[in-house]
Copies of this chain bind each other. A is one copy, B any other.
Amino acid sequence: MTDATAPGAPIEPSFDDVIAAISFNADGLVPAIAQAEGSGEILMMAWMNRDAVLETLRTGRVCYWSRSRKGLWRKGETSGQMQRLKDFRVDCDGDTLLVIVEQDGVACHTGRRSCFYRALRDGKLEIIQDVETDPSVLYGHTHK
């Protein structure tokens, strides 16, 4: 028989003070910036609700809230491009999160490393990053 409250049993943190430090917006969401460990590259920005924050902290795998699908979005669940949590930060007023991650493969659904692949050049937006992985490979189908 196991007893989670037995002396010596590992105590899982409740993360209550982390949740209390976050100002979720009127929709119960908070933006989370994902930055690659090491390179420091900004990979993407997405949203989390309370459950996504808790799942991220408990599992060490980054989980967002999909506003379009209205459900938890376990990054990499479909594409395999998982994000392993390396650090979790909260900003001064608690209304933005920063997750520092080890990114498996590419972060962007277009198959590019980062979602921020368009940059201003001579007054216009230009694509500055190549596609590294064919999106049909990421999502298991072609767009024919």
Output the least CB separation between A85 and chain B (Å): 9
In residues 30-82 of chain A, which contact B (Cβ within 8 Å)?
A: 31, 33, 35, 39-42, 44-45, 57
Bound Cα distance A87, B33 (Å): 18
Taking CB atoms, residues of chain B closer than 8 Å to A87 are 119-120
Q: Using a Cβ–Cβ cut-off of 8 Å, how many residues does chain A contribute to the interface with B?
A: 40
Taking CB atoms, residues of chain B closer than 8 Å to A39 are 40
- Check: A122 CB closer than 8 A to any chain B CB: yes
Bound Cα distance A45, B25 (Å): 15
Give the number of times this chain occurs in the complex, counting copies.
Answer: 2
Taking CB atoms, residues of chain B closer than 8 Å to A128 are 89
Taking CB atoms, residues of chain B closer than 8 Å to A24 are none
Q: Which residue of B has the minimal Cβ distance to A17? A: B124
Q: Which residue of B has the minimal Cβ distance to A20? A: B125
Output the least CB separation between A137 and chain B (Å): 17
Q: Per a CB cutoff under 8 Å, which of B45, B92, B108 touches A33?
A: B45
Bound Cα distance A92, B109 (Å): 8
- Check: A138 CB closer than 8 A to any chain B CB: no
Instruction: Tell me if B31 and A42 are in contact (CB < 8 A).
Output: no
By a beta-carbon cutoff of 8 Å, the part of chain A in contact with chain B is 13-15, 17-18, 21, 31, 33, 35, 39-42, 44-45, 57, 87-93, 96, 98, 108-110, 112, 115-120, 122-125, 128
